[in-house]
Amino acid sequence: MVSTGMQFFSRVLARLVAGGLLVLACMAARAATYPVDMCVGDRMADSLNCTANDVQITSIRIAPGSGAPATCEGGTSVTLDLEVTVNFGSSTRYDVGIFLSQDGANPKERSTRTLAGGTGSASCKVATLPSQVPP
């Protein structure tokens, strides 16, 4: 038989847990989510004017063994793996994303997805960098 004090403690704990899950669910619902192909200008609802230049791609190369073709024809798609080297001007950078335009337009500008008459890229391939230094 469970004591009255233990039953009370169990009910309070259950309410705290249920309340905590509700708060977490509300916080998660408030977090911004975007379509996976949305470019940065549309995500920020503003044309960006990044001038710090503290994050730079210093090299891009085709990864060995990625199956890259010896030649390609303009206007066709090629699938391959790339190795990208990124340098940071500040050791405290976080949430760094790389947005590659899929339609040739500028990914920093708003597109017609979020602005009538927008001229930015309407579709991007998006990658985020790890927030910790790899081992």
**78-124 per-position pLDDT tens digit:** 888 888 888 888 777 667 788 889 998 999 899 999 999 999 999 99
Query: 46-50, 57-61, 111-115, 116-120 — which is least confidently predicted?
Result: 46-50
Comparing C-alpha atoms, which of 132, 130, 103, 118 is closest to residue 43? Answer: 118
Enumerate residues 6+ apart whose C-beta is below 8 A from 113: 38, 42, 122
C-beta neighbour count of 126 within 10 angstroms: 17
CA pair distance 122, 112, nearest whole angstrom: 7
Q: Has residue 1 got a pLDDT over 50?
A: no
* pLDDT value, residue 116: 94
**pTM score, two decimals?**
0.58
- Average pLDDT rounded to a whole number, residues 28-56: 77
| pLDDT bracket for residue 37 (50, 70, 90) | very high
CA pair distance 126, 97, nearest whole angstrom: 7
Distances (CA, A) of 15 to 1, 6, 26: 22, 14, 16
Query: 49: which 2 tokens?
Result: 């004017």
* pLDDT value, residue 10: 39
Higher local confidence (pLDDT), 115 or 9: 115
76 SS3 class: coil
